[in-house]
């Protein structure tokens, strides 16, 4: 436990921190809002804190305790950080301070562990720096921190605040005077450092007095501050240049990219346990480049929308601390654990919510004002959002149970993902209200739907209005927004083709877009549009210029930043589907058993329920019997006995009439069926046909075969029979654990010569979800679902990107004379489901499924009538599918950009960073471990799957660095911390996403991993480094070229860090980073850049910086004015719409909700207006040199 004296000092420092935070808020909040007390303070207090305000008549910040002040800061973080340039790291310090305050406010009799106290003091020090607390207080905290570290000191250190703030009481008694040397060498202009904090440096402005009584005025932290001689020392002068090898420079640049994420660089590349699929990264790129992180992903079935949502989560995590994520989806997806399993690919653990858990979250949010951390990443089914009591509250006796929509403040999620968003297309439902409520208060929102986007369908307007109510205000606005898009698409196509007179034709197409209603109000006033027209009017442009202009034009598409639509036909076929029908007749005995069993079931169910109620009840056993009569056989006796027991109960009623004789007849039929089961010959032609397929397949180089069945009893039968035939077989169904599925999948992928491999893997519908099998090129449908979408999902396990074969074989096994055979022959095979993916027509396929069921379950139809109706259904729906595809093509002009086939790859290439590649990250981590722990081989292995080996001492050092990172509750951080604290010196590790997908147990090191984060923090350097490299390039003039790399921090609307190479040769400067990637290191000590060359480079840089800064400020000012005009227009529209809704509302709850929405809209408008004003005034480029060096070019 910690020393009592230190604990007392920390308590006093917390009290002083409360005063400084109070002063800081009192100075800051009025700058955000004149009515700051009512707008920024009172609404952001917890329920208990508001009660104290009312009961005690609190009217000033000084009357609040530290908990309330921290809450006020945290709740207003977005506005405060934007105005005062605070970082996400500062936000983490605020969060950690809340934990520190709670620990010391509720300390038990055992006190606090020394480790926790040290972390708390460190957090306090960082927090005080963030709010610009007086240096005296910060120094006092640092002294306490040093005292804890040097626990062996006999007496606690005395902490004294410097006398720069006379009004502040010292934390502890004054320390004894310390004798200073009579002459310390410090004069006016000297660079000095604080004795208490050598990292704090400043320049001496004036000196009053002499020796130890001298009082120095030092320019420190942006203002003059007084100090006495004993408090200062000469700053350490670094005379030697920091020379680094090329590999060390690469690590430095990787660290810069990690610490300062760029808007043009994707960090989700190689950051998840998934296969690399280029088009799946497009939504992530869109959302980080959008003015608001909100996107509707309307991709076709099978494109991978859940993966795209996970990649968006990764990108947001790279740029901010994303701790709370809510996924809203249909209940079946919760039951099937689809989202749970998919998010595990991103090392995320989500908790599904039921009614009880949701009520718990509502209750905790009401008490604490925050959604509970235990459910910070949650999956919520739509079904719970239909409960009016959960949404609006209910009364139990005298006790009022608050509802979700009544929470004040509302829950604020960092990201809300709404799957199958078309479920909330009706704005009059409770589900729509709830989703709107979550989205309104979320930082980022992603909608997912496979429903084709159509103008004539009001659904799309409803979804976009829900997603971006500030932009898509009403149906009329929605229609106007779509109007210019065909002209913009035409302009893009003309520019991309680059034919004769393409510039003039492109301008004409763009002017037609500007002549639309939307174009006149929005497009014409856009500075970017005006600059584009001007650029197109110049002398003939180069190909590079044309490509750049195409990208600018794509940005004017009104829905390009709102909707991502990737269709299967846009991607192209992954492979050719080769379906083959395997028709196998029942044996005579099997046919009799099949018919007798169904006849018995029909008679028994009709007797109990009437003819009209048995259709659905019969469908399952008909399909089971058609699937595999041998798999069903062991259960037939139980089925018959259950039915007879039900009939016996019916027989005992008073109005049974002639029922006993009928039941007796059924009992005799049941006995005959049982006898047929017992006498059934083991001959099974259907299984024999499967075995022939399997036997032929395992002779091939690719011996892998997947077999699907809807029914588990069929799978169990097939597994037993295949094992008896010497086939290496495994089985996966819904009850197989995730880790066991992965083991089976990996065994299935093994080479055929491996003794542990599997030849055949059996699957149920649910069993195949979550894992990919592109290495397999053949599948067998032992039975067929009546739902075409289920068939598409089965085939999609092998017909997907990454399939190694040019064609996949699909065997469909049917038994003539069954309803399944009729459905297959007369309907499913005719609509083309087995030849081509038609998953985009999901609504039509859903209608086909319902109609198939209606026809199949209608027992009054003769066999000929059933076949005729199925054929007619197929003919009608083929026409519907063709019409749907034509409509989708027309609608794509309005909502989607026409991209060439290589567009996703080109987009990715532009957003890829060499410094974040697998090789760069591995080099980066290697550099960190060697510098931090001493030179050694810590990461072992040449293959993607490696082993990291660290001693207890080494892990302790890394743990110390880990604790300096902002806190995170993600499983990835927890698992890393757990290993560092544990006793095991070895861990399996990989930098490769494909390897990580196959080895879920491995630590997956990618840009977001804590090991990479702490390496970036440790390897940061304050001063420029010096290097030298050599390249061989026949296209460059030979010679020695001094260069520099400057880091430009772009301030304004879209802050980012840009690395800018500077050299006296423009040719070298343009291709500099290619040289840096491919160059070889040479001794930097023999190629130092002379000071006069550095001055020359700096002058070149100054010209570049001055020009870029002027352009940046002018563009920012122009764009701010444009956005302010757009903001004013959209705000007036939103206010008018909501006020009309309030006037027309007849329900008090709806009126109350709309009034609250009106207040939120006004607050949102004020916040955005303040952000724009702040961005314009802050527009600047902060530049600093990072590298000086010499590039030697050899022919």
Cα radius of gyration (the chain): 35
* CA distances (Å), origin 1106, targets 1101, 1102, 1111, 1182: 8, 6, 9, 11
Highest mean pLDDT among 61-75, 227-241, 621-635, 642-656: 61-75
Encode pLDDT of 242-257 as tens digits.
Answer: 899 999 999 999 999 9
Q: How far apart are the first and last CA of the chain?
A: 67
pLDDT mean over 164-173: 41
User: What does pLDDT average to over the chain?
Assistant: 81
pLDDT mean over 715-735: 92
User: For residue 830, what are its two tokens?
Assistant: 């005719």
**Lowest mean pLDDT segment, chosen from 130-144, 322-336, 355-369, 819-833:** 819-833
Residue 70 in contact with residue 369, Cβ under 8 Å? no
| Domain 180-237 CATH class label | mainly beta
pLDDT mean over 1051-1061: 89
Encode pLDDT of 774-793 as tens digits.
Answer: 889 999 999 888 777 777 77
For the purposes of burial, counting CB atoms within 10 Å of the CB of 614, is it exposed (0-12), middle (13-18) or buried (19 or more)? buried
pLDDT mean over 690-719: 93
Instruction: List the one residue out of 606, 614, 601, 680 whose CA is nearest residue 643.
Output: 601
Residues 384-411 as b or e (16 or more Cβ within 10 Å = b)? bbebeebbbbeeeeeeeebbbbbbeebb
Beta-strand relationship, 294-297 and 563-564: parallel
Which residue has better confidence, 613 or 963? 963
pLDDT above 70 coverage of the chain, percent: 81
What CA–CA distance (Å, rounded) separates 977 from 980?
5
Residue 461 in contact with residue 296, Cβ under 8 Å? no
Concatenated DSSP letters of 264-309: TS-S-TT-SSS---GGGGHHHHHHHHSSSSEEEE-PPTTS-HHHHH
57 pLDDT band, cuts 50/70/90, is confident
What CA–CA distance (Å, rounded) separates 270 from 456?
40
What CA–CA distance (Å, rounded) separates 1010 from 963?
10
3-state secondary structure of 1113: helix
CATH topology of domain 278-482: Rossmann fold (3.40.50)
What CA–CA distance (Å, rounded) separates 808 from 98?
58
Q: In this predicted structure, what is the pLDDT of residue 173?
A: 40
Q: Could you tell me which residues are beta bridge partners of residue 808?
A: 577
Q: In this predicted structure, what is the pLDDT of residue 177?
A: 40
Concatenated DSSP letters of 225-243: EEEEGGGEEEPPP--S-EE
pLDDT at 124 over 60: yes
Domain extent listing, the chain: 4-176, 180-237, 243-255+913-1018, 278-482, 485-557, 576-581+683-895, 591-679, 1025-1194
For the sheet with 351-352, list strands across it: 351-352, 377-381, 325-329, 415-418, 444-448, 294-297, 563-564
Residue 87 in contact with residue 81, Cβ under 8 Å? yes
Q: In this predicted structure, what is the pLDDT of residue 758?
A: 95
Q: Could you tell me which residues are beta bridge partners of residue 599?
A: none
The torsion angles phi and psi of 808, rounded to 5 degrees, stand at -120, 140
* CA distances (Å), origin 558, targets 478, 535, 895: 10, 21, 8
The secondary structure of residue 796, as a DSSP letter, is T
Q: Could you tell me which residues are beta bridge partners of residue 220?
A: 223
**Residue 225 backbone class (left: φ over 0; alpha: ψ -120 to 50; beta: rest):** beta
pLDDT at 1023 over 60: yes
Quick count: other Cβ atoms within 10 Å of Cβ 491? 29
Helix/strand number for the chain, H first, E second: 45, 30
**Residue 304 backbone class (left: φ over 0; alpha: ψ -120 to 50; beta: rest):** left
Q: In this predicted structure, what is the pLDDT of residue 660?
A: 57
Q: Could you tell me which residues are beta bridge partners of residue 1189?
A: 1027, 1043
Q: In this predicted structure, what is the pLDDT of residue 240?
A: 64
Instruction: List the one residue out of 777, 623, 803 whose CA is nearest residue 713.
Output: 623
Residue pointed to by tokens 């000590």: 1085
Cα 39–chain centre separation: 32
Concatenated DSSP letters of 373-442: GGGSEEEEEGGGGG-HHHHH-EEETTEEEPPGGG-SSPP--SEEEETTGGGG--TTSHHHHHHHHHHHT-
User: For residue 32, what are its two tokens?
Assistant: 């955000």
- Residues near 1182 by Cβ (< 8 Å), separated by ≥ 6? 1048, 1049, 1051
Q: In this predicted structure, what is the pLDDT of residue 802?
A: 65
Q: In this predicted structure, what is the pLDDT of residue 181?
A: 39
What CA–CA distance (Å, rounded) separates 806 from 774?
11
- Asked if the domains 278-482 and 576-581+683-895 are classified in one and the same CATH topology, the answer is yes
Beta-strand relationship, 223-228 and 215-220: antiparallel
Residue 1089 in contact with residue 1189, Cβ under 8 Å? yes
**CATH, range 576-581+683-895:** 3.40.50.300
pLDDT mean over 886-915: 57
Encode pLDDT of 547-576 as tens digits.
Answer: 778 878 888 888 888 888 876 666 655 677
In the chain, the largest separation of any two C-alpha atoms, in whole Å, equals 123
pLDDT mean over 839-851: 51
């Amino acid at each position: 436990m910690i020393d009592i004296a230190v604990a007392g000092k920390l308590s006093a420092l917390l009290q002083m921190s409360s005063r400084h935070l109070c002063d800081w808020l009192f100075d800051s909040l009025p700058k955000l809002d004149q009515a700051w007390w009512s707008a920024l303070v009172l609404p952001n207090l917890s329920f208990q804190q508001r009660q104290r305000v009312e009961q005690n008549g609190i009217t000033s910040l000084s009357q609040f305790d530290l908990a309330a002040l921290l809450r006020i800061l945290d709740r207003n973080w977005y506005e405060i950080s934007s105005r005062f340039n605070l970082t996400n790291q500062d936000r983490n310090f605020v969060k950690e301070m809340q934990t520190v305050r709670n620990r010391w406010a509720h300390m038990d009799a055992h006190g606090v562990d020394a480790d926790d106290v040290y972390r708390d003091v460190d957090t306090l020090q960082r927090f005080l720096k963030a709010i610009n607390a007086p240096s005296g207080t910060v120094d006092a905290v640092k002294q306490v921190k040093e005292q804890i570290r040097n626990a062996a000191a006999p007496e606690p250190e005395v902490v004294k605040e410097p006398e720069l703030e006379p009004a502040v009481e010292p934390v502890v008694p004054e320390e004894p005077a310390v004798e200073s040397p009579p002459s310390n060498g410090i004069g006016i202009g000297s660079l000095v450092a604080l004795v208490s904090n050598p990292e704090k440096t400043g320049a001496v402005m004036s000196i009053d007095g002499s020796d130890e009584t001298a009082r120095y005025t030092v320019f420190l932290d942006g203002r003059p501050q007084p100090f006495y001689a004993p408090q200062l020392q000469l700053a350490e002068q670094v005379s030697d240049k920091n020379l680094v090898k090329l590999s060390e420079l690469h690590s430095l640049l990787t660290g810069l990219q990690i610490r300062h994420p760029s808007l043009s660089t994707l960090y989700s590349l190689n950051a998840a346990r998934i296969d690399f699929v280029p088009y799946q990264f497009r939504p992530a790129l869109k959302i980080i480049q959008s003015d608001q992180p909100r996107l509707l992903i309307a991709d076709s079935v099978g494109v991978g929308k859940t993966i795209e949502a996970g990649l968006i989560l990764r990108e947001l995590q790279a740029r901010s601390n994303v701790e709370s994520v809510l996924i809203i989806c249909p209940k079946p997806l919760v039951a099937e654990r689809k989202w749970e399993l998919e998010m595990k690919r991103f090392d995320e653990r989500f908790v599904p919510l039921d009614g009880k858990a949701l009520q718990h979250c509502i209750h905790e949010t009401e008490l604490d004002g925050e959604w509970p951390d235990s459910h910070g990443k949650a999956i919520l089914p739509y079904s719970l959002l239909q409960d009016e009591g959960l949404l609006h509250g209910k009364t139990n006796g005298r006790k009022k149970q608050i509802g979700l929509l009544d929470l004040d403040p509302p829950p604020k999620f960092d990201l809300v993902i709404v799957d199958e968003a078309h479920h909330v297309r009706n704005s009059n439902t409770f589900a729509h209200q709830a989703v709107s409520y979550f989205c309104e208060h979320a930082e980022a929102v992603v909608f997912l739907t496979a429903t084709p986007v159509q103008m004539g369908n009001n659904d799309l307007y409803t979804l976009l209005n829900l997603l971006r109510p500030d932009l898509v205000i009403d149906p009329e606005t929605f229609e106007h927004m779509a109007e210019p898009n065909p002209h913009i698409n035409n302009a893009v196509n003309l520019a991309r083709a680059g034919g004769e007179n393409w510039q003039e034709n492109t301008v004409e197409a763009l002017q037609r877009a500007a002549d639309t209603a939307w174009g006149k109000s929005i497009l014409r006033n856009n500075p970017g549009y005006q600059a584009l027209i001007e650029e197109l009017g110049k002398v003939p442009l180069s190909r590079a210029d044309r490509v750049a202009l195409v990208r600018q034009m794509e940005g004017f598409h009104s829905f390009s930043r709102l909707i991502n639509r990737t269709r299967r036909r846009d991607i192209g076929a992954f492979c050719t589907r080769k379906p083959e029908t395997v028709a196998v007749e029942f044996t005579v005995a099997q046919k009799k058993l099949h018919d007798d069993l169904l006849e018995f079931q029909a008679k028994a169910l009709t007797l109990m329920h009437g003819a009209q109620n048995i259709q659905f009840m019969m469908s399952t056993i008909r399909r089971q019997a058609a699937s595999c009569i041998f798999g069903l056989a062991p259960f037939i006796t139980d089925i018959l006995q259950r039915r007879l027991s039900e009939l016996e109960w019916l027989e005992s009623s008073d109005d049974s009439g002639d029922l006993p004789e009928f039941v007796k007849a059924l009992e005799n039929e049941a006995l005959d069926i049982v006898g047929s089961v017992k006498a059934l010959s083991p001959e099974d032609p259907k299984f024999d046909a499967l075995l022939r397929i399997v036997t032929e397949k395992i002779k091939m180089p690719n011996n892998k075969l997947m077999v699907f069945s809807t029914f588990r009893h069929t799978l169990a039968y097939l597994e037993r029979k295949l094992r008896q035939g010497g086939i290496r077989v495994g089985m996966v169904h819904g009850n197989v654990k995730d880790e066991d599925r992965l083991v089976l999948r990996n065994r299935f992928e093994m080479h055929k010569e491996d003794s542990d491999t599997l030849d055949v893997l059996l699957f149920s519908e649910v069993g195949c979800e979550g894992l990919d099998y592109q290495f397999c090129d053949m599948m067998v449908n032992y039975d067929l679902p009546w739902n075409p979408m289920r068939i598409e999902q089965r085939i999609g396990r092998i017909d997907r990107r990454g399939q190694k074969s040019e064609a996949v074989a699909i065997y469909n096994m049917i038994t003539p004379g069954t309803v399944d055979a009729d459905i297959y022959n007369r309907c499913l095979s005719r609509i083309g489901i087995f030849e081509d993916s038609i998953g985009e027509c999901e609504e039509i396929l859903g209608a086909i499924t319902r109609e198939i069921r209606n026809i199949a379950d209608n027992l009054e139809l003769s066999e000929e009538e059933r076949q005729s109706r199925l054929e007619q259904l197929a003919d009608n729906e083929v026409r519907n599918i063709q019409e749907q595809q034509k409509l989708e093509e027309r609608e794509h002009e309005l909502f989607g950009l026409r991209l060439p086939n290589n567009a996703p790859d080109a987009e990715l290439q532009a957003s890829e960073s060499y410094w974040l590649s697998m090789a760069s990250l591995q080099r980066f981590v290697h550099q960190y471990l060697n510098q931090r722990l001493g030179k050694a081989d810590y990461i072992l292995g040449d293959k993607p799957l490696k082993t990291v080996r660290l001693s207890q001492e080494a892990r302790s050092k890394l743990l110390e660095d880990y604790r300096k990172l902002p806190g995170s509750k993600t499983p990835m951080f927890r698992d890393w911390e757990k290993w560092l604290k544990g006793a095991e010196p070895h861990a399996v590790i990989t930098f490769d996403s494909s390897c990580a997908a196959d080895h879920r147990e491995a630590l997956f090191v990618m840009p977001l991993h804590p090991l990479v984060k702490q390496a970036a923090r440790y390897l940061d350097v304050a001063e420029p480094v010096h290097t030298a490299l050599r390249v061989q390039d026949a296209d460059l003039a030979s010679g020695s070229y001094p260069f520099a790399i400057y880091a430009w921090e772009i301030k304004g609307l879209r802050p980012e860090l840009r690395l800018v190479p500077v050299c006296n040769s423009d040719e070298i400067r343009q291709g500099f980073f290619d040289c840096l990637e491919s160059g070889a290191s040479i001794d930097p000590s023999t190629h130092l850049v002379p000071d006069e060359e550095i001055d020359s480079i700096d002058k070149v840089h100054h010209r570049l910086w001055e020009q870029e800064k002027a352009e940046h400020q002018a563009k920012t000012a122009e764009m701010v004015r444009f956005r302010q005009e757009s903001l004013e227009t959209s705000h007036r529209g939103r206010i008018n719409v909501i006020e009309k809704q309030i006037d027309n509302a007849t329900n008090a709850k709806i009126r109350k909700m709309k009034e609250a929405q009106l207040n939120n809209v006004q607050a949102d408008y004020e916040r955005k207006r303040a952000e724009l004003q702040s961005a314009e005034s802050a527009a600047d480029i902060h530049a600093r040199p990072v590298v000086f060096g010499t590039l030697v070019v050899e022919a």
